[in-house]
Amino acid sequence: MAESLMQIRRKVRTRTGTPGSDQFNDDGVIDDAVNMAIQSIESEQRWPWLQAITPHTVTAGDPTIVLPADWRATRFLFLDDDELVGISPSDLYMRPTNQHGRPEVYAIIGSEIHVRPVPASEFVLNHLYYRTAGTLTDDADTVVLPDQFVGAIVAKAAELLSIREDDRAAAASHLAEYAQWVVRMRREARRISGPLRVRVREGSWI
């Protein structure tokens, strides 16, 4: 079961020896450190547990798909068994819009995916993408991270709090442990990642 913000906050307090009565590092400060730690982990690489898959329908004459609100980066875009080729926006703009057919290529432009050729009829595209972890705000909010790696959040949050207190020795210690967690996470990511062929139903997640 995914750990909640309240549980992670308690672990950060235990790690740093910060009592609940501490007004300098109150719940709001610790929550900010937790969310910054999550963002740091997310920036380390594209983690397989942040993958999501969503079907999108394009209609005749409409070559655009609005990106999901939690989109971070696209991994694959499939039409049946065929993977569409990602190209640059400039290359996509060079392709004529008066040619309609089965989409073969795509480009990310702003908050949309644009496909070419322009769809000649309705097609369902399966979009495999990396989502953002999101911000934890309520005590019951849960983190998008395997439970065994929550220690990475705790270590990074503890480092940030130590920096805030100008405790460089403690910050260095927490950073060293965070780096060890990242190594473990990358090892696990390599183990569970691999070639993928998508078979999904609407609303499913990876």
Domain assignment present for 197 = no
Per-residue model confidence as pLDDT tens digits over 116-165: 999 999 999 999 999 998 899 999 999 999 999 999 999 999 999 999 99
106 forms beta bridges with: 86, 115
The token pair at 168 is: 């460089």
125 and 153 part of one domain: no
111 and 160 part of one domain: no
Last residue of a domain, one of 79, 108, 131: 131
74 and 125 part of one domain: yes
Mean pLDDT of 17-35: 91
> Which residue range is the domain that position 97 belongs to?
48-131
Whether the pLDDT of residue 196 is over 70: the answer is no
For residue 134, is it left (φ>0), alpha (ψ between -120 and 50) or beta? left
61 and 126 part of one domain: yes
Measured on CA atoms in the order 67, 70, 72, 74, is the torsion positive or negative?
Answer: negative
pLDDT reported for residue 203? 47
pLDDT reported for residue 204? 47
Per-residue model confidence as pLDDT tens digits over 104-116: 999 999 999 999 9
Total domains in the chain come to 2
Distinct helix (H) and strand (E) counts, the chain: 5, 10
In percent, how much of the chain has pLDDT > 90? 84
83 and 144 part of one domain: no
Domain assignment present for 37 = yes
33 and 60 part of one domain: no
pLDDT reported for residue 199? 46
Spatial CA neighbour of 102 closest among 87, 128, 82: 82
58 and 121 part of one domain: yes
31 and 19 part of one domain: yes
35 and 56 part of one domain: no
For residue 17, is it left (φ>0), alpha (ψ between -120 and 50) or beta? left
59 and 127 part of one domain: yes
CA–CA separation, 185 and 180 (whole Å): 9
112 and 147 part of one domain: no
Last residue of a domain, one of 92, 109, 131: 131
pLDDT reported for residue 112? 97
55 and 117 part of one domain: yes
CA–CA separation, 74 and 107 (whole Å): 10
Last residue of a domain, one of 83, 99, 131: 131
Whether the pLDDT of residue 200 is over 70: the answer is no
